[in-house]
Amino acid sequence: MSNFNSYLKEEMGLSITTHEWEGASHLPLYLAKAARYHLCICNGVDFIAAEIERGSSLPELKRISVHISDRTSLPVVLVAQIDARQRKALVSQGIPFVVPGRQAFLPMLGFIANARRDLSPLSKVMAPSTQAALVALMANPDLRTSEKLREMTGMPSSSVSRALDDLSRRGLINKSKQARQVIIECNGSQNQLIKRAKDCLQNPVARVTYTRRSKDTDFLPLAGESALSERSLLTPPIIECRALLKKTLKANKFEEIQLGELPNEETIRLQIWTYDPLVAGRGEIDDVSLALALIDTEDERVIGQLNALFKEELW
């Protein structure tokens, strides 16, 4: 299991513990001989890893997965040198597996990763998930591990891993290994990182709409000038502004209205964000994301208060 453990911990950045599975001694002979079994815990999820040393056919692999899962009511991860055709079939049927050094398919963890390939050129603008990871790190300078970053942001482990790789390649952070942990160190203060990354950062607001004020909107974080007014001398806007993650918009079913359709006090300006407005884990929009959502304004008062917030003319 050493290759399995090191692949998931060191290359994939997952936090995993493994133990001998006592139930293996009670298995029928054909299952006992088919693999060595271990009880694993990864990101709070229990599963059985079936380490298969000899070559097995696709039906044999599926039989091990199904029979062990039926006996334990736990997901079963096949650990073997599985060929590409078999891997494709297992993925199509949702059967977890790990081929150390090549591919991990762990749907119960929301994790899919392939072997490292030649690095593609960095995009000029960061992906939303990469920017989300960066603003979370800037807002929480004591955050030091990929596991803590995953817990804070709620991002899948694979997204955190890709984001940290991107940030490392841009020279914004350093990554290192310490025992089983992926250690993160930012290359500078918040303002220094903003200056270095500014050309790569984007406005997190995908679009803006208006909705009727309700109990549901009151639970959304303040955004835009409404949020800035609480952190500065800026006068609050006439229409309150709130923010919402784009992929949760349909589930919330807010009633869209036209500006002016209702009195200002009954209207909410709703920003639809490409990443979670609360990704920094502080119960409010972080300062950097707030600034990025406002810098397109031509209002000099807003820019002035943003610069005052950061104690430097950054915007």
169: domain CATH number? Answer: 1.10.10.10
Instruction: Reduce the secondary structure of the chain to three states and give it as a string.
Output: CHHHHHHHHHHCCCCEEEEECHHHHHCCHHHHHHCEEEEEEECCEEEEEEECCCCCCHHHHHHHHHHHHHHHCCCEEEECCCCHHHHHHHHHCCCCEEECCCEEEEHHHCEEEECCCCCCCCCCCCCHHHHHHHHHHHHCCCCCEHHHHHHHHCCCHHHHHHHHHHHHHCCCEEEEEECCEEEEEECCCHHHHHHHHHHHCCCCEEEEEEEECCHHHHCCCECHHHHHHCCCCCCCCCCEEEEEEHHHHHHHCCCEECCCCCCHHHEEEEEEECCCCCCCCCCCCCHHHHHHCCCCCCCHHHHHHHHHHHCCCCC
Q: Are residues 110 and 76 in the same domain?
A: yes
Is 254 inside a domain boundary?
Answer: yes
Q: Which residues of the chain have pLDDT under 50?
A: 118
Is 315 inside a domain boundary?
Answer: no
Is 303 inside a domain boundary?
Answer: yes
Instruction: State pLDDT tens for residues 30-50.
Output: 899 899 999 999 878 899 999
Is 21 inside a domain boundary?
Answer: yes
Return the pLDDT at 97: 94
Is 146 inside a domain boundary?
Answer: yes
- How many domains does the chain fold into? 3
Q: Are residues 215 and 280 in the same domain?
A: yes
Q: Are residues 155 and 226 in the same domain?
A: no
Instruction: State pLDDT tens for residues 250-266.
Output: 888 888 899 989 999 99
Last residue of a domain, one of 200, 232, 252: 200
Last residue of a domain, one of 86, 114, 142: 114
Return the pLDDT at 114: 67
Return the pLDDT at 2: 64
Return the pLDDT at 310: 96
Structural domain including 69 reads: 2-114
Q: Are residues 21 and 109 in the same domain?
A: yes
